[in-house]
Amino acid sequence: MALSIQEARTLIKDVRQTLMEKRNVVATGIGYKYVDGRKTDTLCLVCSVEHKQDMRSLSLAERIPPEFDGLPTDVYTTGPLSIFQNHKARHRPAVGGISLGHFAITAGTLGCTVMKDGEKYILSNNHVMANSNDATLGDDILQPGPTDGGSRQNDVLARLSDFVPIEFDNGSDPGNGGGGSGCSIANASANILNAMSAMAGRKSRLKAVYTPRAAENLVDAAIAKPINQDDLSTEIMEIGTISDVAEGLLGMDVKKSGRTTAFTEGQILQIDVTSRVSYGAGKTATFVDQLMAGNMSAGGDSGSAILNGNNEIVGLLFAGSSNSTIINRIQNVFELLNIGLPG
């Protein structure tokens, strides 16, 4: 016979401490059991965990039994539980996952701390710290970002050190300056055909037409050097420290901490992605070798570090939509900026 809700409430008082001592359990409570994603009318003892683990990796003592004294159990994944911290406030030392930006933009996210030539640097996006190519090396980087109250008078955390330029689609005709291989080929072809026309006695001439092709980008990334090395922490808010670098794999569970949506989790739904991304004002750029996750971000989360369940960094968030998130592979980011992880 099923227990009443009062009996269930009495029982949980007797067993909650035992359950809370199990690895990965962060909360216990009374709720309704879910089967195949659907709520049933069966009362159960719910054990909330940071993430579900393979039963084979748990000892018998660590496993949650299927029931306690006739009360079924259920496991619910919450992720880590913590107080809601203000990602848009001023933080010193600054940590990953908080508001930051070039003085001329609104705000993005401080991704994480990286190392170059033995010193700490901030990693984020080009469009967050280099104003989509329009910045100058040495420009002020504010924390918090301008839209969150950051000012050049009081909140300069770092200065732009390096960025990978974004090659935008539909570039302008290089004109007399030339330089592009497509332009050279077009001019050469026109010259040959015009010479043939002259030999044939024709007066009309062919004009070289330059048709730009979409350039392919690997990353939207930049680094900035803090004015004071002690003002930059290796922590990421609500996540902790990065343990290592890993490859983003299809189906991998991932997480991030960002300025707008704080801590969120998702899954890599596609790899080897080619995508066309809007940068506003009619500008688009094509990116290749990207990762795509589901809805785990919003505007202002650009620059967030993407980690797997082992706190290994796999990517750098830079774009998305209402249901998708586009991520640079971290290997491409590190190689193009010649950076690595601390320690």
Query: Residue 123 CB: number of other CB atoms within 10 A?
Result: 25
Confidence (pLDDT) at 170: 75
CA atoms of 247 and 308, how far apart (whole Å)? 9
pLDDT band for 213, please (50, 70, 90 cuts): low
pLDDT for 56-90, tens place per residue? 888 888 889 999 989 999 999 887 777 778 999 99
Confidence (pLDDT) at 186: 36
Confidence (pLDDT) at 189: 43
Half-sphere exposure of 2 (CA within 13 A, CB side): 11
pLDDT for 263-285, tens place per residue? 999 999 999 999 999 999 889 99
Contacts 24+ apart (CB under 8 A), 63-69: 63/22, 64/19, 64/22, 64/25, 68/11, 68/15, 69/11
Q: Is the dihedral of CA 293, 297, 301, 306 positive or negative?
A: negative
Q: Is residue 112's pLDDT more than 70? A: yes
* DSSP-based three-state secondary structure for 196: helix
Q: Is residue 176's pLDDT more than 80? A: no
Report the predicted TM-score, pTM, of the whole model to 2 decimal places: 0.71
Confidence (pLDDT) at 145: 98
Q: Is the dihedral of CA 173, 174, 180, 185 positive or negative?
A: positive
Domains of the chain: 5-77 (3.30.300), 94-167+216-337 (2.40.10.10)
